[in-house]
Amino acid sequence: MKAIDKEKLWDKYKVTPTPELREQLILEYAPLVKIVAGRLCMYLGNTVEYEDLCSYGIFGLIDAIDKFDLAKDVKFETYASLRIRGSILDQIRKMDWIPRTIRQRQRMIDDAIKTVEARTGHSASDEDIAAELNISSDEFLKWQNQLNVTNVVSLNEFVEAGNEPVMEAEHNSHFIQPEDNISKKSFLKSFRKP
């Protein structure tokens, strides 16, 4: 649709906001949802399906259509892109039950571990990490307990989803079967001089 036609459609919708005109606008700007969802999908990786992001984005597009003010000197695409992105991110946050503070603490601990290990050249102890974070050992223990609870639940969700990795020792190059190990030792022993 040409820009002139879009302007006419907007003018009609603002005068008489019928469901039919609203649907026309949604269909007209649906590709914008796909663009915003595609950008976020690249950022988020495999954590959320692209189609889900598009579904969440449609709500943002509808909200943008309902609240857009033609009198303001802003392109609809610019305004809608922000609303679509916000709608997608809000929906993703709703799916994540772990509080932001817990996630922030996990990042802080990870950063502290890297700093300590880079500085000392050995694995960071709990005391080292607590000192790096400028918190007491008791406070660090509380943080760890909170993180452990979230990890247990996450693992349970993972197992319930049926995504457990299956490893067969027999056909995996990382494992040597006991009988193969004995055969190998016997074979090597036969070449040694008495």
Residue of 37, 138, 141 whose CA lies nearest to 87: 37
Residue of 62, 54, 38 whose CA lies nearest to 88: 54
Report the pLDDT value the prediction gives residue 166, as an integer from 0 to 100: 42
Report the pLDDT value the prediction gives residue 187, as an integer from 0 to 100: 65
Compute φ and ψ for 140, nearest 5 degrees: -65, -40
pLDDT digit string, tens, across residues 54-80: 999 999 999 999 888 877 888 888 899
Report the pLDDT value the prediction gives residue 57, as an integer from 0 to 100: 92
Q: Dihedral through CA 156, CA 157, CA 163, CA 167, nearest 10?
A: -20
- Res. 193 pLDDT band, cuts 50 70 90: low
Asked whether residue 110 carries a pLDDT value surpassing 60, the answer given is yes
Question: Which is it for the CA torsion 125, 128, 130, 133, positive or negative?
Answer: negative
145/109 Cα distance (integer angstroms) = 13
Average pLDDT over residues 3-11: 79
Asked whether residue 168 carries a pLDDT value surpassing 50, the answer given is no
Report the pLDDT value the prediction gives residue 96, as an integer from 0 to 100: 63
- Res. 123 pLDDT band, cuts 50 70 90: confident
Residue of 56, 139, 64, 146 whose CA lies nearest to 100: 146
Report the pLDDT value the prediction gives residue 44, as an integer from 0 to 100: 72
Whole-number Cα distances in Å, 146 to 125, 141, 142: 18, 9, 6
Q: What is the pLDDT of the chain when averaged over all its residues?
A: 77
Q: Which residue has the higher pLDDT, 180 or 22?
A: 22
Other CB atoms within a 10 A radius of the CB of residue 18 amount to: 11
Domains in the chain with CATH codes: 3-95 (1.10.1740.10), 100-160 (1.20.140.160)
Instruction: Give every CB contact of residue 124 below 8 A, 6+ residues apart in sequence.
Output: 112, 113, 116, 117, 132
Average pLDDT over residues 14-39: 89
Asked whether residue 39 carries a pLDDT value surpassing 70, the answer given is yes
Range name among 53-57, 137-141, 182-186 with the lowest pLDDT average: 182-186
What is the share, in percent, of the chain residues with pLDDT greater than 90? 18
Residue 81's Cβ-count burial label (10 Å; 0-12, 13-18, 19+) is buried
